[in-house]
């Protein structure tokens, strides 16, 4: 009996695909950090121009932080990995892409969930440093235990990727995703 045909031209689950190495993923994350930092800076400048920078304004500090850092970062990763190419700019530059169990593109809802889970430690740190009063006002984190939890979560993400055969982190496991090298980058 012949093997079933791949779905939408994707690889079968048992076919070997080269998982992206951790150094390559880290380099892609560094490039993505530059892009997200630029997006966050532009969003912050736009918020300042709109008059959201003053403490007395209608937009509280933590909502401004959410609108200028978390939302652009989430949209960047969710859209980049849901659209054709299945990769953020950093991943594309280093010949990586995010695939599902069968090697196909992640559906938009799973890409959005993966992006949210990936940013989980950042969101915890953001809340720990900005709510109810920003760290810049207090001089210390308002919620140091939550900040510790953010660092612990980040450590868990890295440790999981280091110990996994396919170099999958928590957000990959939760969404049945894997970061692989594209065929051109495999050689």
The enclosing H or E element of 96 equals strand 96-100
Domain count, the chain: 1
What pLDDT score was predicted for residue 52? 66
- The predicted model scores a pTM of 0.79
What pLDDT score was predicted for residue 185? 56
Instruction: For residue 5, tell me if it sits in a domain.
Output: no
- Show the tokens assigned to 99: 């695939």
Q: Could you list the residue range(s) of the whole structural domain that residue 42 is in?
A: 19-186
Instruction: For residue 10, tell me if it sits in a domain.
Output: no
Q: Which of 16-20, 23-27, 57-61, 148-152 has the highest mean pLDDT?
A: 23-27
Instruction: For residue 125, tell me if it sits in a domain.
Output: yes
What pLDDT score was predicted for residue 57? 53
> CA–CA separation, 97 vs 19, rounded Å?
10
What pLDDT score was predicted for residue 89? 95
Instruction: For residue 1, tell me if it sits in a domain.
Output: no
Instruction: For residue 8, tell me if it sits in a domain.
Output: no
């Amino acid at each position: 009996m012949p093997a079933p045909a791949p779905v939408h031209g994707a690889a079968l689950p048992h076919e070997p695909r080269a998982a992206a190495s951790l150094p390559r993923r880290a380099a892609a994350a560094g490039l993505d950090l530059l892009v997200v930092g630029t997006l966050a800076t532009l969003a912050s400048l736009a918020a300042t121009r709109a008059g959201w920078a003053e403490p007395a304004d209608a937009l509280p500090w933590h909502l401004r932080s959410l609108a200028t850092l978390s939302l652009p970062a989430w949209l960047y990763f969710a859209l980049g990995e849901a659209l054709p190419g299945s990769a953020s700019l950093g991943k594309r530059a280093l010949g990586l892409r995010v695939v599902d169990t069968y090697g196909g593109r992640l559906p938009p809802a799973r890409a959005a969930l993966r992006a949210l889970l990936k940013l989980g430690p950042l969101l915890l740190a953001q809340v720990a440093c900005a709510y109810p009063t920003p760290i810049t006002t207090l001089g210390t984190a308002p919620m140091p235990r939550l900040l510790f939890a953010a660092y612990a979560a980040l450590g868990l993400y890295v440790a999981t990727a280091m110990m996994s055969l396919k170099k999958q982190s928590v957000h990959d496991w939760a969404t049945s995703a894997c970061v692989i090298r594209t065929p051109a980058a495999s050689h």
